Amino acid sequence: LLRDLDEGKGPMPFRMSDPDAFEVGDNLANTPGDVVFQNDLMQLIQYRPTTETVHRRPLLVIPPWINKYYILDLGEKKSFIRYWLEQGHTVFVVSWVNPGPELAHKTFEDYMLEGPVAAMDAIEQATGEREINTVGYCIGGTLLGCTLAWLAARGDDRVKSATFLNSMMDFSEVGDLEVFIDEDSIAKIEKAMNKQGYLEGASMATAFNMLRANSLIWSFFVNNYLLGRDTAPFDLLYWNSDATRMPAAMHSFYLRNMYLNNRLREPGGITLAGTPIDLRKVKAPAYFASAIEDHIAPWISCYKGARNLGGPLRFVLGGSGHIAGIINPPEKKKYGYRLNEDNPANPEEWLKGAEQFEGSWWPDWVAWAEQFGGGEVKARIPGEGNLPVIEPAPGAYLRNEPAPPSPAVRKRRQPQRGKSGSAKQKTPSPEKVTQ
């Protein structure tokens, strides 16, 4: 107790996991790759291929900036990034910066322009391919939806498919978080943010922990302090404690326009970079994966938001919660998932008519994504295109360090021309997975 009070310098950051059991770049966030682009808000990681041939269209992954991206790379046995590579995708992942007061002015549209939009341009430089497929997780999925609507309003159709993981674009039912969403609460958050220029990551983590106080607060208080037990190593809780800050301007916009006023679902309700956006104009095929026990992004809101998009939709409902429902490798054969291809307006009707399947939904996504691969090309190595390698993954932003200087961008080369057909794939070897 005295140790944690001393380390917290006031607030008590009780330990959820043995802090000495994990290290990013060693046993977490250890999939081989390289940073090939960076700006004020993010580093872009290109991962090294594990197959000889790959889908022509690269895969851009936009994780949440509330936590760090390595929830998608929790070691070899749980890594979604490794799984994508094994299925023949050229994978690019955004690694968001942990912002300080110098980035207090950064807005939600800055996160769009310097995040996914900048990443798309960089991917074209790195691979010669303009067309891509995309994945967004949690608030990263909300940003992806906004980006697609912004691109659609400008006649930009480079995104050929979009996958949303526990992502809300309708905030009419926000579950347990509703206790924090009212004018008075948001005004208090804004007052605190304006003093330092950002919302401290620990504040957001505490808010989420309070929603599940018995399991995420009192269990550790009892075991650590009253019973004096050593904290067990747990990769997910180590990641959960590795929170990031949020710039004041961006977070205020997000809370007010999404949670408080629910403007994203309204055509033209939100304007980004001078362009009113309308989710209905997004025609790219969409795959939504939600979790039935998710208390952060309730599946009913995810389903309602999915139906706001204007293209073909496939919605699957996995078991468990916000993390385990998504990070669910097939080898463990856990949870199962539901699928109803009719997509009726009422979420309860969807659930009533859904068919239950065993195991992980990941293979279902693989079969769906196959049709948008765009043919087969030789596997791409980071640095061989027009973007030279800046540093090895996981990169400085993940380690909360200053970014190294960016090397000069090479002259743009002509796009690759791929053969028709699908990428050759490696079948993952069965492994025991710890959830």
Q: Which residues are catalytic?
A: 138
**CA dihedral angle for residue 357, residue 358, residue 363, residue 364, rounded to 10 degrees:** 10
CA 172 – CA 109 distance, rounded (Å): 22
- Per the CB < 8 A criterion, the answer to whether 68 and 42 are in contact is no
* Phi, psi of 313, rounded to the nearest 5 degrees: -130, 135
Question: Nearest to residue 243, comparing CAs of 422, 1, 11?
Answer: 11
Going by the DSSP 8-state scheme, the letter that residue 30 receives in this structure is -
C-alpha distances in Å from residue 282, one per residue of 119, 170, 181: 19, 15, 28
Structure tokens at 185: 């609460």
Rounded Cα–Cα distance for residues 182 and 204 (Å): 16
Dist. CA 290–CA 141, nearest whole Å: 12
The amino acid that residue 248 corresponds to is A
CA distance 206 to 411: 47
Query: CA-CA distance, 100 to 244, in Å (whole number)?
Result: 10
Nearest to 160 by CA among 286, 3, 334, 300: 286
Q: CA-to-CA distance for 113 and 23, rounded, in angstroms?
A: 31
For residue 128, give the 3-state DSSP assignment. Answer: coil
A 10 A CB-CB count for 197 gives: 18
417: alpha, beta or left? (left if phi > 0; alpha if psi -120 to 50): beta
Of residues 400, 331, 320, the one with CA closest to residue 363? 331
Residue 163's SS3 state is strand
Full DSSP string of 229-283? PPPPP-HHHHHHTSB--EEHHHHHHHIIIIIIT--TTSTTSEEETTEEE-GGG--
Type of residue at 393: A
